[in-house]
Chain A
Amino acid sequence: MDFLLQGFEALADNPKMIAMWLIGGILIYLAIKKDMEPALLLPMGFGAILVNLPLSPVIEEHGIINSLFQVGIAASEAMPLLLFIGIGCMIDFGPLLTNPKLFILGGAAQLGIFVTIILAAMIGFPLNDAASIGIIGAADGPTAILVAQKVMSNYLGPIMVVAYSYMALVPIVQPAVVKLCTTKKERKIKMKYSAKQVSKLMRILFPIIVTICAGLIAPDSLSLVGMLMFGNLLRECGVLSSLSETAQTTFSNIITLLLGITIAFQMQADQFLQLETLIIMILGLFAFVFDTVGGVMCAKLMNLFSKEKINPMLGAAGISAFPMAARVVEKMGIKEDPSNHLLMHAVGANVSGQIASAIVGGLIIGILFPYL
């Protein structure tokens, strides 16, 4: 009758697995009850349970989760990169093209990434892990996965869980930080939105321009930026509407589904349950906070030099969490003054953050490479 007890014996040898079932359960609860990034947290939660069952064949050499991980993430980072095609298809860069200076806010809102890298290095993480922890601040799951995998971080699992969990916490974290950094008067600044028609040619040229500019200065960002911009070109070209629709819906859904369950490969108890995971959670929050501070302060700085004042809250929308960050700014604007609609400006800053975070991801890989 020993064969019936094999699983229990293996579980007794590694009781940490039970803690991972709890973590998986919490992720499933957050996905279903709190509607926090359910498309990813639910597969990740279930995957956390699946890979932490004793003698689980899915993580063996030819097991399904192991194989998906090796092919879809370890070999070429294909899954997060392909997801970027879908994201590119979903983004309308029109609000950014009508006011290109909003692009600066997207760049400034990446400050938290670099500050967190320094802090993680001071705490004692090796450089590759520090860089991977910093990139949590990009508020961009696929970029975090790509960087952590590319620089061979030892904390891929915790980084991915923290990145996706905090993305869902943007509406809770950002308002408090924005309020701390701005005065009531600043939050009431109104901005005109001139709905200038962006020409179709400009919309088609934009993804090509971004790809060339990013490729010339930050070549390592090309895989991320290139896929994002390819998706956007599909959307804007006007002759591939069925491909664009598929990329936005079916294709993105399939990749998201597979990505969630595949990431769970990194959530095996021995790798995940470390005290360092707690520090990574704190540092991830720090990165988000400093990203927001960087964006808001940059908007304030721009106000010193420009005639038309920018509402500093727009800086908070410069992070990549799309469209949550833009919605947060719109809500805060209306709360201060019901006639103050900032949504279109915030969307402009938000999509610029999407591009900037992808570029920063590539830059980090490029700068880190000589140190590896």
Chain B
Amino acid sequence: MLNMLLAFENLQPMNWEVIKPALNFLWQGLLAIFVVIGLIILCVKVTSFAIAKSAEIKKRREEEKNAQSPDDNS
């Protein structure tokens, strides 16, 4: 197999100068992508929670306002 690859002029099989950085790609790339994804999931969860909370507070305020308004009319 190696002999076959050596037949290609432009290829240099099993060159550690190239393989070593390629191995770095694996761990650096996977680590970085999962860090980005983790951060996005965290931000989405926090934002969703904040939006839901603010909607809940708004709804409660409106309910309180509606409950008070009949008294004001009387």
Instruction: Select the stretch in B4-12, B56-64, B65-73 that faces chain A.
Output: B4-12
Known contacts A121-B19, A206-B44; decide if A114 and B25 are in contact (CB<8 Å): yes
Task: Using CB atoms and an 8 Å cutoff, list the residues of chain A in contact with chain B.
Answer: 97, 100-101, 103-104, 106-107, 110-111, 113-115, 117-118, 120-127, 130-131, 134, 154, 199, 201-202, 205-206, 209-210, 213-214, 216-218, 274-276, 279, 352, 355-356, 359-360, 363-364, 367-368, 371
Given the contacts A124-B13, A209-B47, A217-B39, A117 and B33 also touching, CB distance less than 8 Å: no
12 inter-chain pairs at a CB distance below 8 angstroms, sorted by A residue, are A100-B44, A120-B22, A122-B14, A125-B18, A199-B51, A209-B40, A209-B43, A209-B44, A213-B36, A276-B10, A355-B40, A363-B28
**Which residues 17-53 of B sit at the A interface, judged by CB distance below 8 A?**
18-19, 21-26, 28-30, 32-37, 39-41, 43-45, 47-48, 51
17 further A-B contacts with Cβ under 8 Å, apart from A104-B34, A199-B51, are A107-B37, A110-B30, A114-B25, A117-B25, A118-B19, A121-B15, A121-B19, A122-B22, A124-B10, A126-B18, A131-B25, A154-B10, A202-B44, A209-B43, A213-B43, A214-B36, A276-B8
Task: Decide if A123 touches B24 in the complex (CB within 8 Å).
Answer: no
Across the interface, name the chain A residue whose C-beta is closest to B11: A124
Residues of the A chain whose Cβ atoms lie less than 8 Å from the Cβ of B22: 117-118, 120-122, 127, 130
Interfacial chain B residues near A364, Cβ < 8 Å: 25, 29
Asked if B47 and A202 sit within 8 Å, CB to CB, the answer is yes
Minimum Cβ distance to chain B for residue A161 (Å)? 18
> Which of B5, B24, B39 interacts with A367 by CB under 8 Å?
B24
Is the CB–CB distance between B43 and A359 below 8 Å? Answer: no
In the assembled complex, the Cα of A286 lies from the Cα of B25 at a distance in Å of 17
| Contact yes or no, A359 B26, CB < 8 A | no
CA distance A364 to B29 in the complex (A): 7
Instruction: List residues of chain A with CB within 8 A of the CB of B43.
Output: 209, 213
Q: Is the CB of B51 within 8 A of A201?
A: yes
How far, in Å, is A295 (CB) from chain B's closest CB? 13
Q: Are B11 and A103 in contact (CB under 8 A)?
A: no
Q: Is the CB–CB distance between A213 and B25 below 8 Å?
A: no
Q: Do A276 and B13 touch across chains, with their CB atoms under 8 A apart?
A: no
* Cβ distance B41 to chain A, nearest Cβ, rounded Å: 5
The answer to whether A97 touches B33 (Cβ under 8 A) is no
Q: Which residues of B contact A117 (CB under 8 A)?
A: 22, 25-26
For the complex, what is the distance from the CA of A92 to the CA of B55, rounded to whole Å?
23
B40/A210 in contact, CB under 8 A: yes
Closest to B1 in A: A123
B25 cross-chain contacts in A, Cβ below 8 A: 114, 117-118, 131, 134, 364, 367-368
> Quick check: B26 and A118 within 8 Å, CB to CB?
yes
Contact B44 A97 (CB under 8 A): yes
Say how far B54's CB is from chain A's closest CB, in angstroms. 9
* A110-B33 contact in complex given A126-B18, A199-B51, A213-B39, C-beta closer than 8 Å: yes
Residues on B with C-beta less than 8 A from A210 are 40
Contacts of B18 in A (CB 8 A): 121, 124-127, 130
A355 nearest CB neighbor, chain B only: B40
B53–chain A nearest beta-carbon distance, Å: 12
Tell me, rounded to whole Å, the shortest Cβ–Cβ distance linking A279 to chain B: 8
The CB with the most chain A CB atoms within 10 A, among B12, B25, B45, is that of B25
A216: chain B residues at CB < 8 Å are 39
Per the bound structure, the CA–CA distance linking A157 and B15 in Å amounts to 25
Q: Is the CB of B47 within 8 A of A275?
A: no
Inter-chain contact A371/B36, CB cutoff 8 Å? no
